[in-house]
Amino acid sequence: MRSAMPYATEFAKLLRSSDMAQTRDILIHLSVETAIRKRKCHHSRGKHGIGAGEKFLSVREGSGMGSKNYCKECAAPMLAAAKGKFEGIVQTLAR
């Protein structure tokens, strides 16, 4: 008589197999980084910058190598607006 445990282990292996689709990262172009050197905040370029050692939001531009940097103060309302838009999309899909 076989134990249920080997079957459960085999089932768990199947669930982890590469046959299942992986969840796609749709926020691949956003990251929080720490400035090594002084950077410009692209929201208010001439008014203030991002000092060395400060955290900032980095937004990469599509497939190119360029990115735009935003200080914590300027990034907060942008992220709040994006969160509202994202929650709206989730609610629309749930209907």
Q: Count how many domains the chain has.
A: 1
Residue 87 included in any domain: yes
Residue 56 included in any domain: yes
Token pair for 9? 């282990």
- For residue range 7-19, what is the model confidence (pLDDT) as tens digits? 556 655 655 655 6
Indicate whether 6 pLDDT > 60. no
Residue 4 included in any domain: no
The pLDDT of residue 1 is 47
- Per the structure, the complete domain to which residue 45 belongs is given by 21-94
Does residue 49 sit in helix, strand or coil? strand
Residue 1 included in any domain: no
Residue 85 included in any domain: yes
Residue 16 included in any domain: no
Measured at the alpha carbon of residue 33, what is the angle toward residues 32 and 39, in degrees to the nearest 5? 120
Within the chain, residue ranges assigned H as helices are 4-15, 72-94
Residue 13 included in any domain: no
pTM of the entire predicted model? 0.68
Closest CA to 51 of 66, 74, 34: 34
Cα–Cα dist 8/13, whole Å = 9
The pLDDT of residue 24 is 77
- For residue range 23-77, what is the model confidence (pLDDT) as tens digits? 777 777 899 999 999 999 998 777 888 999 999 999 988 767 788 999 999 999 9
